[in-house]
Structure 1
Amino acid sequence: MLAVAFPAAAFATNCYVLATGPGEECLVVDPGIGVEETLREVLAEHRLRPAAVLLTHGHLDHVYSVTPVCGGDTAAYVHADDRYRLADPLSTIDPGTLAMMESQFGQRATWREPERVVEVTDRQRLEVAGLPLEVLHAPGHTEGSVMFALDTVPDGLPADEGLDRTVVSGDVLFAGSIGRTDLPGGDGAAMQRSLRDVVLPLPDSTLVLTGHGPATTMRRERGTNPYLRGLGA
């Protein structure tokens, strides 16, 4: 699998481009704020054509550039419980944070809902751009937070890591941490259940591509992440 990752211009949200190889259709995951130019360069370099946009949840920093990427047959995939957030994610952001963001970029923030939205459900299996994937609903950070699981790993990983599958975790799981639950729609108890029932059962051989910060592995998180200690799978 070809995988390219780069951070958005705001909030360091990771945007991922996944494909079976150069010159093919691809998946764009969580196109955040200010990613359009870099995304165009990545697509041109690898001769890729977006087949779909996958959204791990509906927060502005993960969806802001979804509409410019979508169009024609390219749809945005989001869990049904976070579908409402795509109507106007600007309304859910703190006014002070929004003003700071607009000052940083020198322009007023605008939003247009994508024309094609596909609602996904827990454990749904999809095949898009030639990549089979499974939707893992993991609420807590938001009601409709999901992780996308693929039975493959990016090319070029060290063989001694023993990794054989990938999970794009959004803001459910980070290296050494988890997503916050104190924002509207967050739920600490739901997050604990998601960590216990969805995250912990993932095999140690899972590569975790996080919504913010560096990639990690389930082997590493199971042994070191303080938020996973004391949870029984």
Structure 2
Amino acid sequence: MFLASFPAGPWQANCYIFGFAEGRAVVVDPGVDALASVNRVVTEQGLTVEAVLLTHGHIDHVAQAADVADHFGVPVYLHALDRELLTDPTSGRPQMQQMVEQLGVHVREPADLRLLHGGETLSAAGASFHVEHAPGHRPGCVLFRVPLVEPFEEAPELTELIFTGDVVFAGSIGRTDLPGGDDAAMRATLRDVVLALPDTAALLPGHGPTTTMGHERTTNRYLDKGYLA
């Protein structure tokens, strides 16, 4: 198994390069200025990129998705409800336009865009990625769940990896006050999707450090029944 990550751009969105099969990888959430770092890792490790997976459509997670995918000639997977952000990253908010221009980012659809709806299982880089629709932060948020085919020597209790995007972080959750955010939908996602995850899952979030579901279940106040009632 290969797993590398780095924080990209001014919002430090985590970009992951991952795969089970030797020499094969997918890229998850290549955000602002991510292409150069992805290229460096891929070249140093002798990897073949097979797909780009996007947890949602916010610009800090997708800014260079098309650049990475078209560079390697691979498809991009994104939930259909967030496709609009590939052509309008400001979400219709004029006040966001200046920020996008300052970033020097031109978001566009990749040559090969494949839309998700939730419930699919994707196969790439020797891994199976089960797609869980998890709206709230954005209508098109998803979790990518990957069963571990063999245990981690350092953490043999782990049974799967989950790329959570901005749904759940270590000690927190994604905000719902941005365009497309929905507090009621987020609470439903936390109750019905996140709390159903096994404690033995490693959570790889869109920002901040990796955690586990077992740790978040007992320490993350946003997963408390009182908050979700």
* TM-score (normalised: structure 2): 0.91
Q: Which aligned pairs between 1:8-19 and structure 2 lie closer than 5 A?
A: 8-19=8-19
Change (3 A) 1:100 1:125: closer
Contact 2:66 2:109 in 1 (8 A): yes
Do structure 1's residue 55 and structure 2's residue 54 form an aligned pair?
Answer: yes
Deviations 1:136-173 (A, max 9, x none): 0000000010000000189866236x111010000000
2:146 is matched by which residue type in structure 1? Answer: L
Report the number of matched residues.
227
Do structure 1's residue 146 and structure 2's residue 142 form an aligned pair?
Answer: yes
Q: Which aligned pairs between 1:160-179 and structure 2 lie closer than 5 A?
A: 162-179=157-174
Change (3 A) 1:116 1:173: same
Q: Which aligned pairs between 1:213-228 and structure 2 lie closer than 5 A?
A: 213-228=208-223
Change (3 A) 1:168 1:176: same
Change (3 A) 1:227 1:138: same
* TM-score (normalised: structure 1): 0.89
Partner of residue 204, structure 2:
209
Q: Take 1:65 and 1:120, find their aligned partners in 2: how far apart are those partners?
A: 19
Q: Residue 218 of structure 1: CA displacement?
A: 0.3
Change (3 A) 1:199 1:30: same
Change (3 A) 1:153 1:178: farther
Unaligned runs of 5+ in 2: none
Q: Which aligned pairs between 1:10-159 and structure 2 lie closer than 5 A?
A: 10-24=10-24, 26-71=25-70, 73-89=73-89, 91-92=90-91, 99=98, 102-103=101-102, 108-152=104-148, 158-159=154-155
Unaligned runs of 5+ in 1: none
Identity rate, percent: 44
Partner of residue 4, structure 2:
4
1:58 is matched by which residue type in structure 2? Answer: G
> Which stretches of structure 1, 4 residues or more, deviate above 4 A after TM superposition?
93-98, 100-103, 153-157
Change (3 A) 1:120 1:208: same
Q: Residue 102 of structure 1: CA displacement?
A: 5.0
Q: Residue 133 of structure 1: CA displacement?
A: 1.2
